[in-house]
Chains A and B, each alone.
Chain A
Amino acid sequence: MRIFVVGYGVVARSFIDLLEAQQSVLYQQQGLSPRLVGVCDSTGAAVSERGLSADELRAAKESTGTVAGVAGHGVRTVDAAQLIAECDADIVVEASPSQMSTPGRSIENLKAAFRTGKHAISVNKAPLAAAMPAMLELAEFNGVQFRFSGTVGGGTPVLNVARECARGDEVTMVRGIFNGTTNFILWKMHSEGLDFDTVLKEAIDLGYAETDPSADIDGVDAATKVVILANYVLGRPATIGDVKVEGIRGLPRERIEEAAQRGNHLKLIGEIGEALSVAPQEVPIGDPLDVPASLNAITLSLKASSDITLIGRGAGGIETATSVMRDLLDIWNVIGGRS
């Protein structure tokens, strides 16, 4: 199985390491021998029929600043879509930045993969937020597989568990905490009585939040996950424009204190009910969704059965890489696996 990876950041590197580390297990247990035939970053690419190793990629990136520095295999191009269309891969992994306001680039990457009959795995949330129904449609039209389990919950298999719950029952409502950064901020504000700006600064210093934390604190990242769940678990063709979003930017401490007086914690809750929404909501202390620090949680309400809650870390490069690996194995099994 030939793999092309778009992006060479934390997730991509972790995945590539994992591929190498698991090489013999994958072969023995699944009959799968993956080969990395291309990787690109923001300025260039490395492409090789025989396969690229984690070491040579890392060395090239360190010494030249781009994977295009791999001797004899470098391509100085930034046109990832063209590379994807022309390469000989079976699967494309989209692990470049989730640029929410300019999703076009990553959408073109996925289109190029589907059009040329390649399966795709995306950890990039932008194409899903903007055009998930379109991407699902195009993959199906071309008879290829499309997976994205790393986009919700990082390494916690939220999407698969949620879908499993929906089998033979009906999911009537989904509520959850889909963004670790904002949960961390709200939790700190409550537990240490600090105000928003102080905690945000701390979160950035700790590396929990990006230097531009807008997508997190304005609720866009959580809204993206609402979109993905709505499409994947409930089969509702939604995009980010369908979600009513309210973030927590500049949230006054009083709101948290008032909530506490009522015996509640304030949480940024994504909700899929009648409508799709993201907004700060009060959750009773001790509720399954009342999770501390940067944890994520999701509660699925089922028609016949009772509520099910899943709690886990919502991000992390290595964790997310494991979800890419699961997607890869899923696709491998769907397309026939060991044959």
Chain B
Amino acid sequence: MKFGGSSVADAEKIRRCADVVRAQQEKHQVVTVVSAMGGVTDLLLELAEAAGSGNRSVKYTLLAEIRRRHEEAAAELGVMEKVEPLLANLETLVAGIVAVGELTPRSRDAVVSHGEQLSAILTAAALDGRAMTGQEVGIVTNDQHGEAEPLMNLSLYQIHENLEPLMANGERIVVTGFLGATQHGVISTIGRGGSDYTATLLGAALKADEIWICSDVDGLMTADPRNVPGAQLLDQITFAESIEMGQFGAKSMHPRALEPSAEHKIPVRVRSSFNTDCPGTLITETAPTTATMRSVLLLKNVALINVAGAAMVGRPGTAAKVFAALAEAEVNVQMISQTVSEAGISLVVAESQLPRARAVLEGQLLRTNAAKRVEVDEHVAVVAAVGSGMRGSVGVAARIFGALSDASINIEAIAQGSSELSVCLVVKGDDGPGAVRAIHDAFGLGGA
């Protein structure tokens, strides 16, 4: 069971998490993984940056805030003596960074790691269990600090070796999420997917029956309920669908975090920490397909770029030039699409990356006459319909178009998702929420 930061935000919540774990331990063997207390990772990052630029005052206010939150919780849970050394260690570390005046990725990881180390100690106290770091359980990573990649086979083997005997002894183990260590024993953080990734790694190593990702949401939904009031909780979906939903920013799991569980076929349950009556969403290798479509997602704050012009026709290599230019400018192309109206290449990028993308495309393509025009539509939204049931099912596109035309929504472009599991449409930014509702309704995702 993994608990997100908001679930372990203070002593009271930590106690409730411990109760939830204890209840499950009546029937199951449980290993717990925790994130840092809500907001603490951001504070630590800010602290690290401030220390790196020699900013002493921010350092003190931030440190004091971090200290206050953990000391309060520690006092309530009665583990002051275990928390103090870690806080003192953090202070020394920060003082060292200030003195050197330079923040390395390695020292940033060392600072940030305190969040999970502290929350694991607090949770272990509430659970009367044993706190262990990612390093202690055996997670070994490469030395890409901040975005470290676990050495998968070695980590799986070591986790198994280290945890099995403790579990056989009936120990209640609480593991820091997000953390590993290099083979030389230097603490590293595993970046994207964070604590969820730790949980799936542990689940795969221990051949768990299920991996539970507990947070403040009930599970995965057919759509964002703030936009679609009738949105329903999804009972069960496949790994592939969940990964696809993650690509479109669903409040689900990071695709990378699902890799170990998908590979070892261990079901993942996304559920609420405290609303324990709700079973959440089960993610499995295969799931019964009752609906054509699972979920409709909305990607906001994106822009559409259309590279067009006669020169492109019969000129092989233009597309390659477009992508090379964007890659050089480190623009992340979120989607490639075909415009309905006109020949050319259309791309969807984050609004924040638009100026860079535009500049590099204009500079490299217009000047050389490789393309005639670079047109930009700044305010668009991508609507993504995800579901493996759409594969090979006829008339899906027609139904989507029908639903949108009934709602008087104009489709600017149809985009190809990264697999057959999704259909993506680009619409005017203001039309986004309405388009989601229209498709959601048309496919009856809101239930009977």
Name the one of A111, A115, A137, A142 contacting B152, with C-beta atoms under 8 angstroms: A137
Nearest residue, chain B, Cβ from A133: B153
Residues in A with CB closer than 8 Å to B156 are: 134
Name the one of B142, B157, B184 contacting A134, with C-beta atoms under 8 angstroms: B157
Judge if A104 is at the interface, Cβ distance under 8 Å: yes
Q: In the docked arrangement, what's the CA distance between A134 and B150, Å?
A: 12
Contact-residue bracket for chain A: 10 to 19
Q: In the docked arrangement, what's the CA distance between A181 and B202, Å?
A: 39
CB pair B161–A138 under 8 Å, yes or no, is: no
Pair count A-B, CB < 8 A: 31
Residues in A with CB closer than 8 Å to B157 are: 130-131, 133-134, 239
Residues in B with CB closer than 8 Å to A134 are: 151, 153-154, 156-158
Cβ < 8 Å to A, chain B residues 140-158: 142, 151-154, 156-158
Q: In the docked arrangement, what's the CA distance between A131 and B205, Å?
A: 13
Cβ < 8 Å to B, chain A residues 96-117: 104, 111, 114-115
Judge if A312 is at the interface, Cβ distance under 8 Å: no
Name the one of B153, B158, B161, B183 contacting A115, with C-beta atoms under 8 angstroms: B183
Cβ < 8 Å to A, chain B residues 152-199: 152-154, 156-158, 161, 183-184
Write 27 A-B pairs (CB below 8 A) sorted by A numbering.
A111-B183, A114-B183, A115-B183, A130-B157, A131-B154, A131-B157, A133-B153, A133-B157, A134-B151, A134-B153, A134-B154, A134-B156, A134-B157, A134-B158, A136-B153, A137-B151, A137-B152, A137-B153, A137-B154, A138-B151, A138-B154, A138-B183, A141-B142, A141-B151, A141-B183, A142-B183, A239-B157
Q: In the complex, how many angstroms separate the beta carbon of A177 from the nearest chain B beta carbon?
A: 29
Residues in A with CB closer than 8 Å to B184 are: 115
Q: In the complex, how many angstroms separate the beta carbon of A97 from the nearest chain B beta carbon?
A: 19
Judge if A284 is at the interface, Cβ distance under 8 Å: no
Judge if A317 is at the interface, Cβ distance under 8 Å: no
Given contacts A130-B157, A138-B183, 7 further A-B contacts (CB under 8 A): A111-B183, A115-B183, A115-B184, A133-B153, A134-B156, A141-B151, A237-B153
Please encode chain A, from 224 to 239, with 1 for each CB lying within 8 Å of some chain B CB and 0 for all others.
Answer: 0000000000000101
Q: Kindly list the 5 A-B residue pairs having the minimum CB-CB distance in the complex, ordered from nearest.
A: A133-B153, A134-B154, A134-B153, A134-B157, A137-B153
Q: In the complex, how many angstroms separate the beta carbon of B337 from the nearest chain A beta carbon?
A: 39
Nearest residue, chain B, Cβ from A114: B183
Residues in A with CB closer than 8 Å to B158 are: 134
Q: In the docked arrangement, what's the CA distance between A141 and B154, Å?
A: 11
Number of residues of chain B lying within 8 A (CB) of chain A: 11
Q: In the docked arrangement, what's the CA distance between A130 and B158, Å?
A: 11
Residues in A with CB closer than 8 Å to B183 are: 111, 114-115, 138, 141-142
> Using a CB–CB distance below 8 Å, which chain A residues touch chain B?
104, 111, 114-115, 130-131, 133-134, 136-138, 141-142, 237, 239
Q: In the docked arrangement, what's the CA distance between A239 and B161, Å?
A: 13
Nearest residue, chain A, Cβ from B149: A141
Residues in A with CB closer than 8 Å to B154 are: 131, 134, 137-138
Residues in B with CB closer than 8 Å to A138 are: 151, 154, 183
Q: In the docked arrangement, what's the CA distance between A130 and B161, Å?
A: 10
Residues in B with CB closer than 8 Å to A111 are: 183
Residues in B with CB closer than 8 Å to A131 are: 153-154, 157
Q: In the docked arrangement, what's the CA distance between A138 and B184, Å?
A: 12
Name the residue in B142, B158, B184 with the highest tally of chain A Cβ atoms < 10 Å from its Cβ. B158
Q: In the complex, how many angstroms separate the beta carbon of B323 from the nearest chain A beta carbon?
A: 31
Q: In the complex, how many angstroms separate the beta carbon of B231 from the nearest chain A beta carbon?
A: 41
Q: In the docked arrangement, what's the CA distance between A134 and B158, Å?
A: 9
CB pair A104–B161 under 8 Å, yes or no, is: yes
Q: In the complex, how many angstroms separate the beta carbon of A243 from the nearest chain B beta carbon?
A: 16
Q: In the docked arrangement, what's the CA distance between A130 and B154, Å?
A: 11
Q: In the complex, how many angstroms separate the beta carbon of A40 from the nearest chain B beta carbon?
A: 22
Q: In the docked arrangement, what's the CA distance between A114 and B154, Å?
A: 13
Q: In the complex, how many angstroms separate the beta carbon of B99 from the nearest chain A beta carbon?
A: 30
Residues in B with CB closer than 8 Å to A137 are: 151-154
Residues in B with CB closer than 8 Å to A239 are: 157
Q: In the complex, how many angstroms separate the beta carbon of A2 from the nearest chain B beta carbon?
A: 22
Nearest residue, chain B, Cβ from A142: B183
Residues in B with CB closer than 8 Å to A133 are: 153, 157
Nearest residue, chain B, Cβ from A239: B157
Q: In the docked arrangement, what's the CA distance between A131 and B184, Å?
A: 19
Q: In the docked arrangement, what's the CA distance between A153 and B237, Å?
A: 48
Q: In the docked arrangement, what's the CA distance between A115 and B142, Å?
A: 11
Q: In the docked arrangement, what's the CA distance between A98 and B152, Å?
A: 25
Q: In the docked arrangement, what's the CA distance between A130 and B152, Å?
A: 15
Q: In the docked arrangement, what's the CA distance between A239 and B156, Å?
A: 12
Nearest residue, chain B, Cβ from A130: B157
Q: In the complex, how many angstroms separate the beta carbon of A7 from the nearest chain B beta carbon?
A: 22
Residues in A with CB closer than 8 Å to B151 are: 134, 137-138, 141
Q: In the complex, how many angstroms separate the beta carbon of B265 from the nearest chain A beta carbon?
A: 15
Q: In the complex, how many angstroms separate the beta carbon of A242 from the nearest chain B beta carbon?
A: 12
Q: In the complex, how many angstroms separate the beta carbon of A20 from the nearest chain B beta carbon?
A: 34
Please encode chain B, from 294 to 306, with 1 for each CB lying within 8 Å of some chain A CB and 0 for all others.
Answer: 0000000000000
Q: In the docked arrangement, what's the CA distance between A141 and B183, Å?
A: 10
Residues in B with CB closer than 8 Å to A114 are: 183
Q: In the docked arrangement, what's the CA distance between A144 and B157, Å?
A: 20
Name the residue in A134, A136, A239 with the highest tally of chain B Cβ atoms < 10 Å from its Cβ. A134
Q: In the docked arrangement, what's the CA distance between A237 and B152, Å?
A: 12
Q: In the complex, how many angstroms separate the beta carbon of A232 from the nearest chain B beta carbon?
A: 15
Q: In the docked arrangement, what's the CA distance between A141 and B156, Å?
A: 16
Residues in B with CB closer than 8 Å to A141 are: 142, 151, 183
Residues in A with CB closer than 8 Å to B153 are: 131, 133-134, 136-137, 237
Please encode chain B, from 270 to 310, with 1 for each CB lying within 8 Å of some chain A CB and 0 for all others.
Answer: 00000000000000000000000000000000000000000
Please encode chain B, from 379 to 422, with 1 for each CB lying within 8 Å of some chain A CB and 0 for all others.
Answer: 00000000000000000000000000000000000000000000
Name the residue in B153, B161, B184 with the highest tally of chain A Cβ atoms < 10 Å from its Cβ. B153
Q: In the complex, how many angstroms separate the beta carbon of A227 from the nearest chain B beta carbon?
A: 13
Nearest residue, chain B, Cβ from A112: B183
Q: In the docked arrangement, what's the CA distance between A141 and B161, Å?
A: 21
Residues in B with CB closer than 8 Å to A115 are: 183-184
Residues in A with CB closer than 8 Å to B161 are: 104
Nearest residue, chain B, Cβ from A137: B153
Q: In the complex, how many angstroms separate the beta carbon of B166 from the nearest chain A beta carbon?
A: 15
Q: In the complex, how many angstroms separate the beta carbon of A112 from the nearest chain B beta carbon?
A: 10
Q: In the docked arrangement, what's the CA distance between A237 and B156, Å?
A: 12
Q: In the docked arrangement, what's the CA distance between A134 and B138, Å?
A: 12
Q: In the complex, how many angstroms separate the beta carbon of B66 from the nearest chain A beta carbon?
A: 33
Q: In the docked arrangement, what's the CA distance between A104 and B184, Å?
A: 18
Nearest residue, chain A, Cβ from B185: A115
Please encode chain B, from 224 to 245, with 1 for each CB lying within 8 Å of some chain A CB and 0 for all others.
Answer: 0000000000000000000000
